[in-house]
Amino acid sequence: MSQVVDWTGAWLWLAVIASGLYHGVNPGMGWPLAVSAGLMEKSSRALFLALCPLSAGHLLAILLMLLPFGLLLGLAEWRREIQLAAALVVIGFGVFRLLERRHPRSLARIPPTQLGLWSFAIAIAHGAGLMLVPIYLGLCGTAVDHRAASSLVEGNLAIAVLVTIVHVIAMIGAGGCLAWIVYRYLNLRFVSRSWFNLDAGWAISLIMVGSIALALDLGHD
Q: At what angle do helices 128-141 and 199-218 cross, to 10 degrees?
A: 20
For residue 85, being part of any structural domain is answered with yes
Domain that holds residue 111: 8-218
For residue 93, being part of any structural domain is answered with yes
For residue 173, being part of any structural domain is answered with yes
Q: What is the pLDDT of residues 104-160, one digit of tens each?
A: 555 555 565 688 888 898 888 877 888 888 888 888 776 555 555 566 677 788 889
For residue 2, being part of any structural domain is answered with no
3-state secondary structure of 158: helix
DSSP state of 55: H
For residue 190, being part of any structural domain is answered with yes
pLDDT for the residue numbered 56:
93
Please check whether residue 26 is in contact with residue 88, taking contact to mean a CB–CB distance below 8 angstroms: no
Task: Domain count for the chain, please give it.
Answer: 1
For residue 40, being part of any structural domain is answered with yes
pLDDT for the residue numbered 3:
47
pLDDT for the residue numbered 5:
43
What torsion do the CA atoms of 105, 133, 16, 191 make, to the nearest 10 degrees? Answer: -10
**What pTM was estimated for this model as a whole?**
0.81
Of the candidates 154, 139, 121, the residue with the CA atom closest to the CA atom of residue 17: 139
The more confident residue out of 59 and 108 is 59
DSSP state of 77: G
> Mean pLDDT for the chain?
78
Of the candidates 142, 104, 136, 140, the residue with the CA atom closest to the CA atom of residue 122: 104
For residue 56, being part of any structural domain is answered with yes
